[in-house]
Amino acid sequence: MTMSNGSNGSTENKPFRIFVGYDPREDLAYQVCRHSITKRSSIPVSITPIVQSDLRKAGLYWRERNPLESTEFSFTRFLTPHLSNYQGWAMFVDCDFLYLADIKQLVDLIDDRYAIMCVQHDYTPKETTKMDGAVQTVYPRKNWSSMVLYNCGHPKNKALDPETVNTQTGAFLHRFQWLEDEEIGSVPFVWNFLEGHNCVVEGDPSTKPKAVHYTRGGPWFDAWKDCEFADLWLGEMDEYVKEKNKKEAGIAN
């Protein structure tokens, strides 16, 4: 695959970089998300979990945990351009996603004019809690930061250095306040299809999810075993577990 390397104008044949938010409580969600991407991808991808403990050991993250942070990657996600050496394009995505389409279709939407691209939801959650009882906060541009294509080479994204990510407010980061509105590109909502909020319109294939986001809580939590699209996630999990067991049996032999 030949990709533009953002604002530096060069091209390179490298796997598309994907950083997935990781929380030890949701390891299975991460594994299934990863499996769903790699299984369907027609292009090479490099998938890296953003693990807070590793970033702390590396001296890249030292922020104190806020009680309102529902996951360990609430803020570490914004280190994506830094972890990409401020070069090329990369994607951050929460671990509670299930990909149902080829990631190449998303990569093909990349436009070098923008500093970032994301689904620009107009979303106010009805629930007061999510996942395993975490507080459901409400703020402008809610869920925009849950899946972001970063033009890591864009000059404006150099603002996302470790110092900024560790000291700036949640509002500054999650609302993309280091950018002007016109520097934020839009992606169709089906790439961040919010379970329980977005709807499939019968007879309209453009509303069919390409990536389901279990933002309220996914089937890996007992309280959300019966959420919408739970059957798709559980089917993907079964496939992942079977492949994992097969590999482990092969190594043992």
- Please write the tens of the pLDDT for every residue from 52-85: 999 999 999 999 988 878 899 999 999 999 999 9
The one-letter code for the residue type at 40 is R
- Which domain does 245 fall in, by range? 3-252
3-state secondary structure of 24: helix
On whether the CB atoms of residues 21 and 73 are closer than 8 A, the answer is: yes
Starting at the earlier edge strand, list the strands of the sheet with 211-213: 97-99, 211-213, 193-194
Q: In the chain, at which residue ranges do the beta strands (DSSP E only) sit? A: 3-4, 11-12, 16-21, 45-50, 89-93, 97-99, 116-118, 129-130, 134-135, 147-151, 184-186, 193-194, 211-213
Query: How many separate domains does the chain show?
Result: 1
What pLDDT digit, counting tens, does each position of 103-153 carry?
999 999 999 999 999 999 886 655 444 455 444 455 568 789 999 999 999
The one-letter code for the residue type at 24 is P
What pLDDT digit, counting tens, does each position of 174-223 carry?
999 999 999 999 999 999 999 999 999 999 999 999 999 999 999 999 99
Q: What's the CATH code of the domain at 19?
A: 3.90.550.10
The model's pTM is 0.88
Closest C-alpha to 146, from 196, 199, 93, 193: 93
3-state secondary structure of 228: coil
